[in-house]
Structure 1
């Protein structure tokens, strides 16, 4: 009898709780390096769970130098910039690298980079054939890379609702209404922790007051693109497009980030690329075995940086490695190593490394990194201490958090000297507090209720099935700024207090007048 009821029960279950149907999802990726790696992983997760996925990819050449491309299981629509521009862009990127290695990571350099993104965006939005094709496909949802403003403009031009995936920390928090108490939520680029003294809180407050000016300056870079591709009356602002996102997903985990208040339409799903390690090649195993009990360290300075353009900086790093007992596996393009520098005896150069697998090896002792979030989360996931050399973007802020939680430390690039570098490596490897701290955070990262791929899939399907993320957005998105900050209420209360104070003073003045008048009459 029980077996006869099973089909009916199953049918009732399907009627009450229908299984999610496959949806058509567009992913948009207009930047290379770690940004592309994350969007590729997102696309694969959605594809592997039954959704029809296509990526709109802008290729500016050499997105992952040294890496052999994997065959994509999902469809891709690619647009490539012309060869002349690619050469010019690489030359500019190379010059900015030199500035970063000299410690000149300025706002002007970042604005120059945004200008390049604006130019690329203008060219990409002119690809009429691709846009017409994507419009005809009628996608249910887009998942866009949220750092590059062009991703928002492309989604808006296609008329597709979108989820924004931000590859870094909360650097754009103010644009989407994530307000945090300035007493313990540090502003981006402040280099502050959540434990600020008076002068730290003062600095944080001043940076907060200046942030709208900086944000406005950055958004203005794309205004010409907006004017050219959107008609008068329907021209969006970058801030409007940020607020329009159905959901914001940040590549963040509180094993690294400082705790802070968030909105319901903001989800933290960090560590998509951190996974259980696979065995490394026999060639690498043989090299690692030579290290004995000393073990080895992994050196990667970002997926986009395959070599260092400053020979003096490279020489200091190389000489520093020569002073330590560990073996060193360094991701560096061998053909670009300067001939006048002899590779240290304990260093092995590789055009590309499987960083996650090396960090999961039992003999790994340390990660030397630029401080990108993907690298940091892989290191924390595998419980590996960190020495950072932050170069640009969010990397300095990320390393401030690593140092604050005693999982490692960092050296500013303009302070790179062989002896200091070697001493820092020895300190982090030999001082047990770094290993203990990173193992504690590793447990936090690994023991989340749901792994990041399931979180991502669940939220994407929730937004599709619920018809958008309107139920998650605060009403503040519809309020004018003076209402959000209660300026109208403050003005009303201030006016009332002023009127009442004026009336009280008026009454007191009248009473004093009558008192003195009566006294004079009595005296007369």
Structure 2
């Protein structure tokens, strides 16, 4: 995916790769930062505490902010490893590609002073930070879990969500990195995260309008959904034998990410297992077998696997459904192969992703606290039996497959373009240099209101004077 002209850096958290397109024998080298064990244990403990809330359907704002706290701690550790910073400063790479979901990557690129491209792992949930126009009448704001067709009260909710985020949440997140900024950048014009977000030469989003709601974008913003989707390969004989036992009923895939297996919630696993036992399809469930709860007897139609070839299974002619946590890559693979979806969202973008799935009508979702054996089985049967879900999924597959350029080619061509012309300033809007009140035309509105007010005031004054004169003239005539 990242092979192109010149030398460039790919950065995710504490992990760095330097790619050299001119050297085909050794295309890249790795640089890995050191993470303190104490930090790792604190992160895992905090995640486990939040996980219990996720399975109760409580993906709260505070739990998401807690993840940003972990990122800020990690950021301090990165900046304390001066050898990494110095070595990357000396690398003659042309451009960097960074994980834009972590604010620290922007500070890091400012520190080493190299141009960069921001890669965001899902839809444009951070549109406000990037300056992407977001009309609140039809663009649902991050975390509101609203569709694009909103009634009056939903639009009120959307506006309130927008106001609260920008007045409270965004400021709180930025403040978590103040220590890093003060310690590592000289006094004077210290960078702010809001400025650094707009320094990206290009914004790449791992999404596609086949699943996302239509919305305006900027010239340096591109959607490249479907990066991990490709033509399927043959599955192993072991899997093929298991699938063949399903007959015409076919099989379903259950892949809920690594969370459920890392910190299994027994009640949730019991209900899932009980529901899967009630359906006629075979089930391939991605689940760490060694972590399966001993007190739960595995359903006879279920096969557990530590790892599954998800893309290949989704392309199998006998697949009927994907049960997923709602990660963007899984949803795009399901779309690519025309497979309906049943989602069980836990946190982050998963809820909003699955709202889009339901709105597009190629699947639905159940909140994790409502997952009961009977409901799960009934919902699976409904999606499989109602052929409209499959028809919609196939149409979405057509949309995704018939794009003018494959997503990896889009990235490659854009990166080469930016390297060749020395940046993408020609694509950046002038709004990046405007204060917020000018962008929203508040100064113009205030000026026009003032003009109208003064005009009305003068008009009333003149009318009063004229009326007074007329009255005095009448009085004189009367006398």
Smaller-chain TM-score bracket = over 0.9
1:259 aligns with 2:242: no
Match of 1:231 among 177, 186, 196: 186
Query: Aligned to 2:85, which of 128, 131, 138?
Result: 131
Structure 2 match to 1:143: 97
More divergent stretch after superposition (345-354 vs 221-230) = 221-230
Which residue number corresponds to residue 326 of structure 2? 371
- Superposed displacement of residue 487, structure 1: 1.7
Q: How does 1:105-504 map to 2 (within 5 A)?
A: 105-213=59-167, 214-303=169-258, 305-504=260-459
What's the TM-score, normalizing by structure 1? Answer: 0.88
Separation of aligned partners in 2, 1:21 and 1:183: 40
Q: Does the aligned pair in 2 maintain the 1:22–1:52 contact within 8 Å? A: no
State the shift of 1:52 in Å. Answer: 6.2
Distance in 2 of aligned mates of 1:88 and 1:190: 29
Q: Could you list the runs of 5+ residues in structure 2 that have no partner in the other structure?
A: none
Q: In the superposition, relative to structure 1, how do residues 52 and 216 fare at CA in structure 2: closer, same or farther (>3 Å)?
A: farther
Preserved CA contact (<8 Å) 1:297 1:327 = yes
**Counterpart in the other structure of 1:7:** none
Q: Is the 8 A contact 2:213 2:356 kept in 1?
A: yes
1:97 aligns with 2:27: no
Within the candidate set 9, 14, 21, 1:26 is matched to 9
Distance across 1 between alignment mates of 2:37 and 2:447: 61
Give the alignment's Cα RMSD to 1 decimal: 1.9
Moved segments of 4+, more than 6 Å: none
Aligned mates of 1:343, 1:418 — CA distance in 2? 14
What is the Cα deviation at residue 80 of structure 1? 3.3
SS at match of 1:244: coil
Deviation at 1:51, TM superposition (A): 5.2
Q: Deviation digits for residues 267-324 of structure 1, max 9, x if unmatched?
A: 1111111111111111111111111111111111125553442101110001001001
Q: What displacement does 1:84 show?
A: 3.3
Aligned equivalent of 1:11:
none
Give a deviation string over 1:422-469, Cα, whole Å, max 9, x none. 000111111100000010010000000000010010111111111111
Contact 1:193-1:401 within 8 A present in 2 as well: yes
Matched-pair contact (CA < 8 Å) for 1:24–1:52: no
Deviations 1:211-259 (A, max 9, x none): 2122112222212222222121242111111011111111110010010
**Would the alpha carbon gap of residues 259 and 511 (structure 1) be closer, same or farther in structure 2, given more than 3 Å must change?**
same
The alignment covers a number of residue pairs equal to: 475
Is there any run of 5+ residues in structure 1 with no aligned partner, and where? Answer: 1-19, 54-71
TM-score w.r.t. length of structure 2: 0.96
* Counterpart Cα distance in 1 of 2:279 and 2:27: 43
- Whether the 8 Å CA contact 1:142–1:160 is kept in 2: the answer is yes
1:511–1:153: structure 2 CA closer, same or farther, 3 Å change rule? Answer: same
Tell me how far apart the structure 2 counterparts of residues 277 and 189 of structure 1 sit (CA, whole Å): 34
Which residue is equivalent to 1:3?
Answer: none
